[in-house]
Amino acid sequence: MAEPSTCPPLTRASVVEAHSLIRPFIHRTPVLTNRTIDEIASTPRTAKELQGTPWETTDSTGTTHEKPASPTLRLWFKCENLQRIGAFKARGAFHAVERLKREPGWEAGGGFAKGVVTHSSGNHAQALALAARTAGMPAHIVMPQISAAPKVAATRGYGANVVFSGSTAPERLAVADKVMAETGARMVPPYDHPDIILGQGTAGLELQEQVAEAKAAGVTSAAAKGGAQPTALLRAPVLAAAEAPTANPGLDAIMTPCGGGGLLAGTVLSAQGTGIRVFGAEPSLDGADDCTRGLAQGKRIEAVSSLTIADGLRTPVGVHNWAVLTGDTPESKGQGVHGVYAVGEDQIRAALRLLLERMKLVVEPSSAVPLAVVLYNEEFRRRVEKEAGPEGWDLGIVLSGGNVSLEGFGKLFAA
């Protein structure tokens, strides 16, 4: 990929430009609402439900110390599970490839023949394979030998040359380096690069536009209208960089999952100057909440070793992403993510089940983590209650992907 110093500035205007670049290649995914889930999110949890959690409100004598949180929430779900290749990763991959195509000397230097390379066992593998095939260049995807067979088949199905490696990060990187030396292909990392961040941020941009357009057309949240309502048919205009709004037109906040941090960092950029708060969501199992802990400690945590069911969130936050999240970039003026919150495995399963049963949406476990935070993390819920007051928040949730096999989905709920 391009040297970060030559990339566009990490700003909302650059996200708007990225969207213009990739718009012909991606889906403008729908935004859905659901009255039942709004009601559940806006109902205080009982003292019994909070027993055994960090937010237990009663002691062994039955004395109540703090009332359960009572936020008012209206949720808008951005369905990136319906994106090409089944995940938001298509956005970053297409942006990276389109930027490479426009790099001075790329075509003259045989870039189209040499192609691109990455290391991934999941959605980025498929996304880069598709983006490269669309651009007419080869893609070399380094995948661990333990990768799920359906993911390997899907990556090959998009025309990629799959090269197997060991399962550790050093093993994957070593094989990727060998492929680059042999082919001259350019590395497109899964999340830790400005071009990837800007591409992923287009999901947040669309979400803002779609909710604003829906409200302008008289469509309110499901809680107010009495049912699930798709808002994707209300097409908001694609704004030029100079026309990007400077005031919050519809959403109060957005929450996305956080693994490597590309989607979350891009969403932070997409909300610059709008007044929209941006939050991240992580699993807590085995230290997968590295961003939550890193923000508390004031330093990036460089390694994660977790077997959380949210397998897309097992990676540590990348260096460039961390800078955006902490507001430590030249353009951020100290403004980054407003907070990152974590939940347990049972809570992720409960949110996953709710999305399937109430909204009929099949998503991968990583996608359900933000909803789990909204429903079960009392720290976040109390924050909403305190900051939003009785009016509550319109909160956008990015459902990041839906690449889970039927067998895998069944195992998540096996007795």
How does pLDDT run across 290-301, given as a tens digit for each residue?
Answer: 999 999 999 999
pLDDT value for 65: 63
Q: Where along the chain do its domains lie?
A: 12-87+193-412, 88-187
Q: How many CA atoms lie within 13 A of 392 on its CB side?
A: 19
Lowest mean pLDDT, pick from 2-16, 337-351, 389-403:
2-16
Dihedral class, residue 7 (left if φ above 0, else alpha if ψ from -120 to 50, else beta): beta
H or E segment at 341?
A: strand 339-343
> Which candidate, 184, 160, 167, places its Cα nearest to that of 85?
160
Q: Cα separation of 190 and 81, whole Å? A: 18
- Is 121 tagged catalytic? yes
Same fold? 12-87+193-412, 88-187: yes
User: What's the confidence (pLDDT) of residue 247?
Assistant: 44
pLDDT at residue 163 is higher than 70: yes
**Residues 31-69: pLDDT tens digits?**
999 999 999 999 999 988 888 888 887 666 666 668 899
Supply the angle between the helices 345-359 and 365-376 in degrees, to the nearest 10.
100
CA distances (Å), origin 62, targets 51, 56, 379, 412 = 11, 11, 22, 34
Query: Strand 277-283's sheet: what is its strand order?
Result: 31-32, 73-79, 393-399, 253-257, 277-283, 339-343
pTM of the predicted protein model: 0.91
Q: Give whole-number Cα distances, 10 to 269, 291, 307, 310, 415, in Å.
A: 7, 20, 32, 28, 46
Flag the least confident range among 193-197, 213-217, 265-269: 213-217
Percent of the chain, pLDDT > 70?
Answer: 90
Q: Is 136 helix (H, G, I), strand (E, B) or coil?
A: coil
Burial 14-51 (b: 16+ CB within 10 A, else e): bbbbbbebbeebbebbebbbbbebbebbbebbebeebe
Catalytic residue among 14, 42, 120, 121: 121
Mean of pLDDT over the chain: 89
- Number of H helices and E strands in the chain, helices first, is 17, 10
Task: Based on the residue annotation, tell me whether 89 is a catalytic residue of this protein.
Answer: yes
The Cα 269–Cα 145 span in angstroms is 36
- Specify the higher pLDDT residue, 109 or 78: 78
pLDDT at residue 415, rounded to an integer:
56
Residue 171 has pLDDT above 60, yes or no: yes
Q: Work out the average pLDDT over 188-211.
A: 96
Q: Which residue has the higher pLDDT, 12 or 227?
A: 12
Unique residue bearing structure tokens 């893609």: 139
Cα(392)–Cα(274) distance, integer angstroms: 18
**What kind of fold does domain 88-187 have according to CATH?**
Rossmann fold (3.40.50)
Distance separating alpha carbons of residues 352 and 341, to the nearest angstrom: 17
The residue from 14, 78, 89, 366 that is catalytic is 89
Read off the DSSP letter of residue 22.
H
Q: Is the dihedral of CA 259, 262, 265, 270 positive or negative?
A: negative
Q: Is the pLDDT of residue 234 over 70?
A: no
Is 12-87+193-412 assigned to CATH 3.40.50.1100? yes
- Predicted confidence (pLDDT) at residue 4 exceeds the cutoff of 80: no
